[in-house]
């Protein structure tokens, strides 16, 4: 078999296994932080990674995209709270809600990640809870 149907019960485990195999297959070709990000910062198809500077983020994204491509994956849906970082990402690879990111406005998007909501504007994780009244 050369493909896997996403949505199956085994999909999360298969995705993690495939990403870890990409690291094994490309050992020594990328910086250790990039390899570690693939191994430790992905959950299924979401990567959550924080770095100190926009330049580090731009380099990390470039290398993560390159490494994923070597494994046969196309990475899309990138977002950052740094306008410099967002502008470095091709429009077609950005999260679908933004074409440009203007940090002067106060209605930046929120993104779901691992069951939490990431507020891009405040760079914080939030919980959204809907409590239903029971009769």
SS (H, E, C) 102-131: CCCCCCCCEEEECCEEEECCCCEEECCCCC
Query: pLDDT tens for residues 16-28?
Result: 888 999 999 999 9
The model's pTM? 0.75
Total domains, the chain: 1
Q: Judge whether 1 lies within some domain.
A: no
Burial class (CB in 10 A: 0-12, 13-18, 19+), 54: middle
Give the domain extent around 82: 11-100
Question: DSSP assignment of 63-100, as one string?
Answer: HHHHHHHHTT-----B--S-HHHHHHS-GGGB-TT-SS
* pLDDT tens digits for range 36-95: 999 898 877 788 888 999 999 999 999 999 999 999 888 888 888 888 898 899 988 988
Is residue 68 domain-resident? Answer: yes
- Domain assignment of residue 95, yes or no: yes
């Amino acid at each position: 078999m050369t493909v896997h149907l996403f949505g199956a019960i085994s999909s999360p485990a298969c995705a993690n296994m495939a990403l870890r195999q990409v690291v094994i297959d490309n050992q020594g070709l990328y910086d250790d932080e990039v390899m570690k990000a693939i191994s430790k910062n992905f959950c299924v198809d979401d990567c959550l990674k924080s770095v100190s500077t926009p330049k580090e983020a731009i380099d990390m994204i470039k290398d993560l995209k390159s490494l994923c491509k070597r494994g046969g994956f196309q990475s899309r849906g990138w977002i950052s709270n740094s306008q410099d970082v967002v502008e470095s990402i091709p429009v077609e690879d950005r999260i679908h809600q933004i074409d440009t990111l203007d940090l002067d406005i106060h209605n930046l998007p929120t993104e779901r990640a691992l069951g939490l909501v990431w507020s891009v504007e405040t760079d914080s994780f939030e919980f959204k809870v809907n409590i239903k009244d029971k009769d």
